């Protein structure tokens, strides 16, 4: 069911300055994408079979904007790749975990995503990514 770590999401205040920092460290940017549904812009950095996603809010109402305001820049979530997101959500719910998303929504690359609440996962915001 869970195949690999898909990506680590890092919340940033300014995407361009974060990109420059990661380039200085030797990382290459694969793509930059805006996800209007999530009110974010994302820089995608491949790292082996996984990725780092630098995430900047495009609206003050964005979850990322609120996260950065409250906690500052840093790791926001860990995402795992799953074969079937509906089954992963059902399994999590049946296991007593609190879901942020009862149904999948559209994420980066048009992939279906859903989040498990960090109160159920020892303080880590967990994202399921299908495909």
pLDDT tens-digit readout, 101-119: 999 999 999 999 999 999 9
Q: What is the pLDDT of residues 115-126, one digit of tens each?
A: 999 999 999 999
- For the chain, the structural domain boundaries read 2-130
CA distances from 48 to 23, 24, 75, 111 (A): 16, 18, 19, 19
Contact 104, 86 (CB under 8 A): yes
User: pLDDT averaged over consecutive 10-residue blocks of the chain (131 residues)?
Assistant: 96 98 98 96 97 98 97 98 97 97 96 97 97 84
The pLDDT assigned to 131 comes to 84
Place of tokens 């460290």: 25
What region, left, alpha or beta, does residue 73 occupy, with left being phi > 0 and alpha being psi -120 to 50 degrees? Answer: beta
Contact 54, 45 (CB under 8 A): yes
- Output the CATH code of domain 2-130: 3.10.180.10
The pLDDT assigned to 1 comes to 80
What region, left, alpha or beta, does residue 101 occupy, with left being phi > 0 and alpha being psi -120 to 50 degrees? Answer: beta
Instruction: Provide the terminal-to-terminal Cα distance of the chain, rounded to the nearest Å.
Output: 11
Contact 94, 50 (CB under 8 A): no
- Read off the tokens for 88: 């992963």
């Amino acid at each position: 069911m869970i195949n690999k770590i898909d990506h680590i999401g890092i919340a940033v205040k300014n995407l361009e300055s974060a990109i420059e920092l990661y380039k200085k460290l030797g990382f290459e940017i694969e793509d930059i994408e805006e996800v209007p549904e999530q009110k974010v812009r994302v820089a995608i950095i491949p790292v082996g079979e996984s990725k780092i996603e630098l995430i900047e809010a495009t609206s003050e109402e964005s979850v990322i904007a609120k996260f950065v305001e409250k906690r500052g820049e840093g790791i926001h979530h860990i995402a795992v790749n799953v074969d079937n997101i509906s089954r992963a959500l059902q399994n999590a719910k049946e296991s007593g975990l609190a879901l942020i998303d009862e149904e999948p929504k559209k994420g980066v690359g048009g992939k279906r995503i859903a989040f498990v609440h960090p109160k159920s996962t020892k303080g880590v915001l967990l994202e399921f990514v299908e495909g």
